[in-house]
Amino acid sequence: MLANNSKPPIKHNPPIYYIHFEDYLRPKNVEKNQKPLLLPEKPELRLKLLEHPVLVAGRKSKWQIFKDKFKKFQQRFAKPKPQTFLRTPERHGSPTTSQGEEDLGKVKHVIAKCRQKVALRKRRWGSIKLPQFLSFLRARNDDGLCKRKSGFEIYCEMASIHGFINFVGSTTGQRAFWCFVIFVAISMSGFILLLSHLMNTSTPTILYTESTQFPTWIIPFPAVTICNMNLMSKTKTNALAERFKRNTNLTKTEIIHLFRLFLYTAQTIKASNEEYQKLDVLLRGQNMTLYELGERLAPNCETLLLRCKWKGRHERCSNIFRKVPTSTGICCAFNSHLDKIQNDKRTNLENNDDLEYTTSCGAQTGLTVLINPELEDYHLTQRKMAGVKVFIRDAYDYTNTNGLESIISPDTIKFIRIMPQQTHSTDYLASLNLRSRRCYLANERKLFHFRSYSQVNCLMECRSMKLHETCNCTLPYWPRKENWAYCGLKERECVFQYKGLVTSVLQPKAAEQKNNNYAETFICDCYPLCDFNMYATFEDSGILDQRLRLDVYENWLTFIGTFGGITGLHMGYSFVSGFEMIFFVFVRPACNWLTKKQIRYRIKRRKRKAQLEAEKKRKADEERERQERIEAFLRMRPYCQY
């Protein structure tokens, strides 16, 4: 028990909590009329702070906010009252001290109000005022004081993503506005990402220029195929006609006329069915096919190629050139390994030891050939012209005469510049499927005739296969299987019907690459290789007799035309503009200078004249005063005597 003299317990005041504002928690706009109610005369508020240590600001109800806005609206349209200084009427004697202090306080109050208005005008003048419909962006939903924030609010204030910081302390309209802005930004980002993904899906591969100084000696020299415009040698045709004449009743002229029918696939030949039947009977009697007939009538490479030079050394043309089949006949090819592939003699396709390489650039280290077109031996040509056709291709590609060619006419010299370009794929390309990468990897696609795959060889096999499916035969010199027969004269009607297989351009099987409507039905899955060599050619023909004229590049007339055209197009300049510039640059300043000189001279002359007149007047006044003094002295003289 406590004794009566025991002291009552000491009551300690509740502790005061000091809150330190972090930079990211500071209010954006603290209103001056909102003051914290943390007053010593309100202990109940301190109890609330102990339970929930947050600075509480006095908030107004919605009705009070509406009344305040209505009063401000009335004050905006109300007429301003003139401010007067209230003074008490003067009484007998001096005013009291309280009245003087009251008047002085009113004066100070008016001066403070004026200063506040001036400061407010300066702040408004220095800032851009938002339109009325955007005034909600400056409003704040909080009271500008530190409150307990949720995890989402703290994340929004500290997030590095744009726009999220505007959610904290904002009104509902502001949050809706920023939600819309962020939604639009996210939608645009997603849309662009989707477009990028679709573009990457449609074209997942890209071709870069890895090097513009790639060594030339690493890329194999291309195959050079030379085809004579003459498809039938006149000498061979006459000799073979003499041989066939012995076993037939036909004359030599008739037999020679029938020989040209074997080229019905290469060009349009007008002939009757009886003539085709006669040629068929003639070949059966000699136990010969159209393929063998074409080989015997083709011109020789030995007589076509006279001299050859390779890498600066003279070589026998028969050692470096060989006969190769083409789509229209037999031609002479350099560095061609197509025959090895057809005869299955090349077992290791990755070994390129048999290919020809050149160690440097220029015509001296390239291939030089002297060609004899043998114009006197011409009998039948595909075109009405003489000369040879040159095809530049890869060493393992089939020579398709429908491709790019270079024609060399007789008695001319032509330089063919070759720009090799090697394309190689990375290891990541193997992870894509065939439809996405649109190219074949090494040893991925096999052909039935050629051992080495290329797009040209694939398209050629595609032509031959489609023709065999429709006509049950294939043309001479075309790739075929062992059990396929050559198309003879009996199958000519079927070949004529599907002549597009011979003349049309076939493309790889891709929906966006089908530009040839006729060839769409014949397209095979002939994608190019991922690693291949391509050879671009640039031709320089022999220089003909020319007459050159040396003249001045530009004279006064062309200069006026060039200057007027350029300045007129960009600035609207003309002769009038030139005179205007001369007037304002030279004439007008000179006139102004002369005018100023004249004005200054006139002013000086007037001043001098005024000075002279003033001097003359001064002298006259002095003379008059002197005379007056003399006269006055003379008048006063009589009086001075007495």
Separation between Cα atoms, residue 284 and residue 101, nearest integer Å: 144
Separation between Cα atoms, residue 35 and residue 58, nearest integer Å: 7
The predicted model gives 16-33 an average pLDDT of: 45
| Cα torsion angle, 472, 475, 478, 481, sign | positive
Separation between Cα atoms, residue 119 and residue 103, nearest integer Å: 25
Q: Quick one: tokens of 128?
A: 């851009």
The predicted model gives 216-230 an average pLDDT of: 88
Element (H, E) at 635: helix 588-641
Higher pLDDT, 553 or 51: 553
pLDDT in tens, 366-421: 899 999 988 888 888 877 888 899 999 888 888 877 667 888 888 888 888 888 88
42-51, 179-188, 398-407 — which is least confidently predicted? 42-51
**Whether 361 contacts 224, CB under 8 Å:** no
Element (H, E) at 120: helix 97-126
3-state secondary structure of 454: coil
Strand bridging mode 330-334 / 223-228: antiparallel
Separation between Cα atoms, residue 304 and residue 296, nearest integer Å: 15
Per-residue model confidence (pLDDT) at position 269: 64
Higher pLDDT, 523 or 522: 523
Separation between Cα atoms, residue 486 and residue 411, nearest integer Å: 39
Using H for helix, E for strand and C for coil, what is the string for 3-69? CCCCCCCCCCCCCCCCCCCCHHHCCCCCCCCCCECCCCCCHHHHHHHHHCCCCCECCCCHHHHHHHH
Higher pLDDT, 97 or 534: 534
pLDDT in tens, 556-595: 777 677 767 776 766 666 767 777 778 778 888 888 898 9
**Whether 223 contacts 250, CB under 8 Å:** no
Q: Rounded to whole angstroms, what are the CA distances from 82 to 79, 85, 228?
A: 9, 10, 114
Those residues whose C-beta lies under 8 Å from the C-beta of residue 389, and which sit 6 or more positions away, are: 226, 227, 228, 229, 401, 405, 406, 407, 408
Please state, as a whole number, how many other Cβ atoms lie within 10 Å of the Cβ of residue 404: 10
Model confidence band, residue 141 (pLDDT cutoffs 50, 70, 90)? low
Separation between Cα atoms, residue 51 and residue 547, nearest integer Å: 108
Rounded to 5°, angle at Cα 406 from 405 and 412: 160
Sequential DSSP letters for 231-271: EEEHHHHHHHHHHHHTTSS--HHHHHHHHGGGGTTTS----
Separation between Cα atoms, residue 171 and residue 164, nearest integer Å: 14
The share of the chain scoring above pLDDT 90, in percent, equals 6
Element (H, E) at 175: helix 172-202
Is 422 a residue whose pLDDT tops 70?
Answer: yes
Is 0.75 topped by the overall pTM?
no
**Whether 14 contacts 45, CB under 8 Å:** no
Rounded to 5°, angle at Cα 409 from 406 and 410: 145
Separation between Cα atoms, residue 290 and residue 56, nearest integer Å: 108
Those residues whose C-beta lies under 8 Å from the C-beta of residue 450, and which sit 6 or more positions away, are: 338, 341, 342, 396, 398, 457, 461, 479
Separation between Cα atoms, residue 389 and residue 625, nearest integer Å: 129
36-50, 57-71, 152-166 — which is least confidently predicted? 36-50
Per-residue model confidence (pLDDT) at position 90: 46
Q: Which of 274, 243, 273, 240 is nearest to 259 (CA)?
A: 240
Per-residue model confidence (pLDDT) at position 310: 92
The predicted model gives 310-317 an average pLDDT of: 90
pLDDT in tens, 54-89: 444 445 666 777 778 777 777 766 655 555 444 444
Strand bridging mode 305-310 / 367-371: antiparallel
Count of H-run helices and E-run strands, the chain: 19, 12
**Whether 327 contacts 402, CB under 8 Å:** yes
Model confidence band, residue 226 (pLDDT cutoffs 50, 70, 90)? very high
Q: Quick one: tokens of 99?
A: 């009245």
Model confidence band, residue 546 (pLDDT cutoffs 50, 70, 90)? low
pLDDT in tens, 430-484: 888 888 888 888 888 888 888 888 888 888 888 888 888 888 888 888 888 888 8
Per-residue model confidence (pLDDT) at position 162: 76
Per-residue model confidence (pLDDT) at position 373: 85
Q: Rounded to whole angstroms, what are the CA distances from 227 to 132, 186, 231, 291, 393?
A: 85, 64, 9, 17, 14
Separation between Cα atoms, residue 484 and residue 462, nearest integer Å: 14
Is 249 a residue whose pLDDT tops 60?
Answer: yes
Mean pLDDT computed over every residue of the chain: 74
Strands (E), 439-592: 532-541
Task: Kindly tell me the burial class for residue 61, based on how many C-beta atoms sit within 10 Å of its own C-beta (0-12, 13-18, 19 or more).
Answer: exposed
Separation between Cα atoms, residue 525 and residue 592, nearest integer Å: 86
Is 111 a residue whose pLDDT tops 90?
Answer: no
Q: Give me Rg for the CA atoms of the chain.
A: 55
Per-residue model confidence (pLDDT) at position 367: 92
In DSSP terms, which residues pair with 324 in a beta bridge? 331
Separation between Cα atoms, residue 152 and residue 157, nearest integer Å: 9
Higher pLDDT, 229 or 351: 229
In DSSP terms, which residues pair with 539 in a beta bridge? 416
Is 175 a residue whose pLDDT tops 60?
Answer: yes
The share of the chain scoring above pLDDT 70, in percent, equals 68
